Amino acid sequence: MVSLTVNGVEHRVEVEEDMPLLWVLRDVLNMTGTKYGCGVAACGACTVMVDGKAERSCALPVGAVSGKVTTIEGLSADRSHPVQKAWLAEQVPQCGYCQSGMIMAVSALLESNPRPTDADIDAALTNICRCGTYPRIRQAIHKAVEVRS
């Protein structure tokens, strides 16, 4: 039995402690906004926040999670989060597959660095977008900074 807090709700799930958090979220808790991409923590599609820090959930054993987990579902149900608003305003998504992980990574970045430079963005944001919308992602990050200010 593993206890964890996801999006402000305490859950007790009967899973092995080495089960990746991604599969607990998707298959046990039915929170399918977090996506599977590579399974080796390389692409970032599975990014969630644990205590405000971006984490790749596909390689994070649920037993190692000691903080509060925030998924894309918990960021804002009505898309009112500044990053989500900026994503829509800048028309970032193309295929959209990477977007939940990308939005979570950017949200974590802005929590730790509310006014990131382009160099800060390059260093912190390692998620992969196969559609290559990186220029729009960067514009959206700067727009989110403006909205938050």
Per-residue pLDDT, 76:
87
CA distance 74 to 96: 18
Per-residue pLDDT, 72:
96
Q: What is the mean pLDDT of residues 10-32?
A: 97
Question: Do the Cβ atoms of 31 and 22 come closer than 8 Å?
Answer: no
Per-residue pLDDT, 147:
83
Per the rule left: phi > 0, alpha: psi between -120 and 50, beta: everything else, 96 is: left
Per-residue pLDDT, 22:
98
Per-residue pLDDT, 148:
77
User: What pLDDT, in 10s, does the model give residues 105-126?
Assistant: 999 999 999 999 999 999 999 9
Least confident stretch, 4-8, 29-33, 66-70, 78-82? 78-82
- Domain boundaries of the chain, sorted by first residue: 2-75, 82-148
Q: Does domain 2-75 have CATH number 2.60.40.10?
A: no
Residue 144's pLDDT band, with cuts at 50, 70 and 90, is: very high
Q: What is the pTM of this model?
A: 0.95
Q: What angle do CA 124, 148, 137 make, to 5 degrees?
A: 45
CA distance 66 to 80: 28
Domain at 82-148: CATH code: 1.10.150.120
